[in-house]
Structure 1
């Protein structure tokens, strides 16, 4: 940015301003303009004669109605810009985004633009196409959009797909479908089968059930695919990343208002045997949110490195065991609010030793399995009502945890590498147990406690991390109670290298906040460089 400021040169009494930006080549200027929205890029044509036509050669066209004050100005702008299409030689990226809520739907205009772009996809050698709308569900895409030899990335949102006669996307590697309505599931199968090089597939707010008016029945995507003559082995053989998010956006689209009740539950059946087969050797990233899965007895995902599951329903806890044991290279694991049906009264399944030996990051909330072995490669853990023992987490450098494991000092192992620890709540934990925990974290630099309801720490033996290493201390939901104040005072007086002590309160009364702050400010702070931050956090 500093290089673009004009330099001042003096020649006698004359001052000459040299514009470094204008000295750049046209290709380099176009590259800079490509990072701007098309509206802003075109605005640069007013700078000088040289800039008048630079935007025409941009490899990216990005139209977004959110930056316009009125619908009429947006429509006029896009119409004028598209008139320059014959002057374009190659468009790498074309994006068209419309809210439809702010201006009201104009499907006739939008459809004409989409058709014009689609008709020129191959001619302009478009690499990436993104059509994202909201509340414009009446926009239908012709089948020609799915026949483009150059397209590598396709993102669609809130559109309908007509019956497909053919699909040919030989170069497509990334496919994102959000709230996309296929009139027939057969068309979805055709689409996936027509992408031989597909590496990333993302489905959001996707209708995995559909209503057949002829038979008056409701069918799942799995039902159609299993009964289809096109087996899954014939497509998606190159898939590396697969994501399903049924909780994103406005929810599932419905094919019949008459059967609206059938679609109210967002947890729909996801086909495991066809789309997301559990024996994909190529998949490296798998993310599922708000779905119900079926897991076979044998799962083999030898390349999987990232597994994120949220609000996923398993048929039984054995499926959880099979999944975690079938990912030998797993490095990033996130399991949040998942559930499974019990088998023979068992609520917990022990994971086979060595199954998660490569795990680096773990975010696990309420999950029915246990793990006893020490995870030597684990550096980041965020666990709530966790299946891991503290011993298995003892190698981490960052830890966010509840207080179940701190019920006894005997349960706390040494955390030799831990530098950052967050504790959600300390109910019923004695001050002695908390100090014992800190003694077992000699390198701890940051300590955050969301809520402290326990007895204040006592004793003359100050933990090494508090006196020598602790740099930040954060205490949340502060109410000014005696035990909370004593904990804050203890940290301020004993932490010699402390830089920040942050206290957050939910109190809205200014008088209460002033009393709390005045009392905290009266404490002696042993660190000369420490700052006391007192923030009022409103209740949600």
Structure 2
């Protein structure tokens, strides 16, 4: 019996080894281009480690199209006391990889993230090496303690299609800027130096399709124009802000982009944004924190921003946007009618003081078809049906087909609101109720209220109520 067991184990071991050998041969026999594609998904340190597998793999890593250097693993080393040694090892590894790289192999993507180790001269050399290899996508995340200037060759990268710069200092630009192929530009945390240099940068991106400006400092700017005929997506994020309510940067940002499809803004409207020509716009997302009160200046800027979105088909807005529209008297007199808008989403919880303002705003969306309460109602809000039935918006009577409410708790406010909707929405086809999953929820209460809604009278005979 023991002999038979040992024989069986030996047979199985041979089968596993044979299968492993066959599998290894199959992978190793793949063409270089396929192996390069596979290795491009690995961190560079793991890609280099494949060189020990066999002679076939020894030099393969030297021509992999993607290179990714990230010193984030050094955080734990610093805590454990191995920080200086680890930093030197990281920098030596980067230089070894770049030195041994196949000179004839171009780089598709080069990512460099340095948050711990920062040697300006060596980082200059690393970035310049990537540019020499005709890099297409350059992704830099650099946290500096002293002023730092990027190599000038970055700003006339003839091969660059994507440039991402995340750097906590002034963005010093080269006098010569040329981006004939650049389609994606991402700037984060940088401080803009002056109007002329930023205008020159933007004017040099005449085939740009995607522009993102996140958490950058505008204090040195007074007025800039973003006029790029090919631009399809623009994201401006001015959060976070830690100043006082009176600190308005006041930079005028004019945007003229007839091909733009997507526009996203998050911030306190400290800068004045003028949307001049967005006739192709499909989707817009505007987020203004509801806790911020900026008076008539903010209200004016909110109106101006929304006025430029009058061609949009789908829009996502926060409570702060609605609040800011009502900070000044007669501010709604200056809003256009959004004839093309068919989808509206509220990104924050609905507060009591928002309800009346929201209903007034809905009169400017006569053709709205889908309405989404992404965060539902604030559970502490309490009011009755009498607040909702006054002056029903045209879209509720004529075009609204779908309403979705998330974080449903089953309280009296939600019940009254949805009952009112069912009584007035003439063409409503679907009411989607997504119950809250919070530990404090009352599941039985949710079920009871949903059952009450199912039994409530509705003016639309085709309306279906779905709960999730």
Alpha carbons of 1:112 and 1:355: their partners in 2 closer, same or farther (altered >3 Å)?
same
Shift of 1:192: 0.9
Residue range with higher mean Cα deviation, 344-353 or 19-28: 344-353
Name the counterpart of 1:51.
57
Aligned positions of 1:25-40 closer than 5 A: 25-40=31-46
Alpha carbons of 1:22 and 1:397: their partners in 2 closer, same or farther (altered >3 Å)?
farther
Name the counterpart of 1:309.
286
Shift of 1:27: 1.4
2:267 is aligned, of 290, 311, 327, to: 290
Name the counterpart of 1:140.
149
CA distance in 1, matches of 2:376, 2:136: 43
Residue range with higher mean Cα deviation, 375-384 or 131-140: 375-384
Alpha carbons of 1:378 and 1:430: their partners in 2 closer, same or farther (altered >3 Å)?
closer
CA distance in 1, matches of 2:98, 2:465: 61
Shift of 1:156: 0.6
Shift of 1:198: 1.5
- The structure carrying a bigger helix percent of its residues is 2
Name the counterpart of 1:195.
205
Name the counterpart of 2:455.
439
Task: Note if 1:87 corresponds to 2:96.
Answer: no
Name the counterpart of 1:98.
114
1:174 is aligned, of 177, 184, 197, to: 184
Name the counterpart of 1:537.
none
Shift of 1:147: 0.8
Name the counterpart of 2:232.
240
Name the counterpart of 1:358.
342
Shift of 1:349: 7.1
Shift of 1:30: 0.9
Aligned positions of 1:227-376 closer than 5 A: 232=225, 235-247=227-239, 268-269=248-249, 271-274=251-254, 277=255, 279-292=256-269, 293-294=271-272, 300-311=277-288, 315-316=298-299, 319-320=302-303, 323=306, 326-338=309-321, 339-340=323-324, 342=326, 345=329, 355-359=339-343, 361-363=345-347, 368-369=357-358, 370-372=361-363
Partner-residue secondary structure (3-state), 1:71: helix
Contact 2:278 2:308 in 1 (8 A): no
Name the counterpart of 1:126.
135
Alpha carbons of 1:396 and 1:18: their partners in 2 closer, same or farther (altered >3 Å)?
same
Alpha carbons of 1:27 and 1:431: their partners in 2 closer, same or farther (altered >3 Å)?
closer
CA distance in 2, matches of 1:237, 1:35: 34
Q: Deviations over 1:334-373 (max 9, x none)?
A: 3343342647645877976663543265536566442156
Contact 2:231 2:260 in 1 (8 A): yes
Contact 1:9 1:15 in 2 (8 A): no
CA distance in 2, matches of 1:383, 1:141: 43
Shift of 1:286: 1.4
Aligned positions of 1:400-419 closer than 5 A: 400=406, 404=413, 406-407=415-416, 411-413=420-422, 416-419=429-432
Name the counterpart of 1:484.
none
Report how many residues are paired.
396
Name the counterpart of 2:93.
77
In structure 1, stretches of 5+ residues that fail to align are 1-7, 211-220, 226-231, 253-262, 447-540
Partner-residue secondary structure (3-state), 1:39: helix
Alpha carbons of 1:375 and 1:321: their partners in 2 closer, same or farther (altered >3 Å)?
farther
Return the TM-score normalized by structure 1.
Answer: 0.62
Partner-residue secondary structure (3-state), 1:161: coil
Alpha carbons of 1:98 and 1:117: their partners in 2 closer, same or farther (altered >3 Å)?
closer
Residue range with higher mean Cα deviation, 162-171 or 363-372: 363-372
Shift of 1:269: 3.9
Question: Highest relative contact order (Cα 8 Å, sep 6+), 1 or 2?
Answer: 2
Return the TM-score normalized by structure 2.
Answer: 0.70
Contact 1:405 1:411 in 2 (8 A): no
Partner-residue secondary structure (3-state), 1:244: strand
Contact 1:62 1:95 in 2 (8 A): yes
Shift of 1:237: 2.8
CA distance in 1, matches of 2:40, 2:299: 51
Task: Note if 1:149 corresponds to 2:158.
Answer: yes
CA distance in 2, matches of 1:64, 1:180: 20
Alpha carbons of 1:353 and 1:157: their partners in 2 closer, same or farther (altered >3 Å)?
closer
Shift of 1:161: 3.1
Contact 2:339 2:367 in 1 (8 A): no
Shift of 1:119: 5.6
Partner-residue secondary structure (3-state), 1:157: strand
Alpha carbons of 1:75 and 1:343: their partners in 2 closer, same or farther (altered >3 Å)?
closer
Shift of 1:78: 0.7
Shift of 1:63: 0.3
Give the superposed CA RMSD: 4.2
Alpha carbons of 1:144 and 1:435: their partners in 2 closer, same or farther (altered >3 Å)?
same
Partner-residue secondary structure (3-state), 1:56: helix
Partner-residue secondary structure (3-state), 1:87: coil
CA distance in 1, matches of 2:244, 2:232: 31
Shift of 1:305: 1.8
Q: Deviations over 1:273-299 (max 9, x none)?
A: 53xx2x532222211112314366x96
Shift of 1:45: 1.2
CA distance in 2, matches of 1:31, 1:442: 49
Aligned positions of 1:495-506 closer than 5 A: none
